[in-house]
Amino acid sequence: MDPRLAQIYDGERRMGDRNTVLRGIKPTDFSHIRKLASQFMARKPTGGSGDNRSSTNISNNPSLALNQKPARRPDPIILLSPSASSLLRMSNAKAFLEGGRYTPPDHSTPPTMLAVSRIIKDMDPNRPIRFILVEGPENFKPEYWNRVVAVFTTGQAWQFKSYKWTNPVELFKHVQGVYLGWRGEQPPESVRAFGHKVLACSVEKWRDPGQPGAEQSRWRDREVVESIWKAVEANMRARGWRKDAAPTSI
């Protein structure tokens, strides 16, 4: 060989094969990677090459979480009046709205939150919808207001001071209002001034169960409850509540 050419060859960088380039001179055992990857590979759906390509793209993209579950529809919220004069409080709301029977509120320490269930056939005929009952929005996050479907009121304006809409007329443009009073008594003038979106309904005055005919006077309670739910459900449908979705704004 020409001495000059041999000198040039000696100055070249020598290229190795795949073992020396990727693993060095000593072969490396990557079998432990199989154990780490097995939990991900087991979740990969079986199918054609299209399914394999889709799974590969997901596993290679850290921004796509594995086993993502569809978002659950949030529970609608009903606000009760915190007024001591309200006929419906946390202590008797469940028996009335879910059981269809009115009993007067007691003076025990009430829970801060209740849940009642109701089948709404237009939305989900097979599974009851859970409604959350609270007396005030003090612990509300801003987005919770999109879940409010009804507000019970006695007509006292101070109830709305901490609401998103402090003006009751504006409030009841967005939310169904309910006033519950005694049968034979007119709703307060303030309630009538709130507008037609406040449903005024009444129950028979409470009588001691030991009195003759007391229980027979309660047969209309369920009729009143059904009229309340009918108004609430109509408002929900108008606002965009569906089987698997809730409105993003009311």
pLDDT tens across 72-115, in order? 889 999 999 999 999 999 999 999 999 999 999 987 777 889 99
Residue 111, pLDDT score: 84
Report the C-alpha gap between 235 and 199 in whole angstroms. 12
Residue 233 has pLDDT above 50, yes or no: yes
Residue range 147-166: mean pLDDT, rounded? 95
Parallel, antiparallel or unpaired: strands 148-152 and 198-203: unpaired
Q: Which of the pair, 163 or 125, is modelled with greater confidence?
A: 163
Q: Per the CATH hierarchy, to which homologous superfamily does domain 77-239 belong?
A: RNA polymerase II accessory factor, Cdc73 C-terminal domain (3.40.50.11990)
Residue 199, pLDDT score: 96
Residue 1, pLDDT score: 67
Residue range 209-218: mean pLDDT, rounded? 72
Residue 129 has pLDDT above 90, yes or no: yes
* Residue 39: band (very low, low, confident or very high) from pLDDT cuts 50, 70, 90: low
Cβ-Cβ contacts under 8 Å for 104 (sequence gap 6 or more): 87, 92, 206
Q: Which long-range contacts (CB under 8 A, 24 or more apart) does 167-175 make?
A: 168/194, 169/193, 169/194, 169/195, 172/197, 172/198, 173/197, 174/250, 175/148, 175/149, 175/150, 175/151, 175/235, 175/250
Domain boundaries, the chain: 3-60, 77-239
Its sign, for the CA torsion 233, 236, 242, 245, is negative
Residue 150, pLDDT score: 97
Q: Which of 52-66, 91-105, 119-133, 213-227 has the lowest mean pLDDT?
A: 52-66
- The pair phi, psi for residue 144, each rounded to 5°, is -65, -25
pTM, entire model: 0.69
Q: Which of 95-109, 165-179, 202-216 has the lowest mean pLDDT?
A: 202-216
Q: Which of the pair, 147 or 13, is modelled with greater confidence?
A: 147
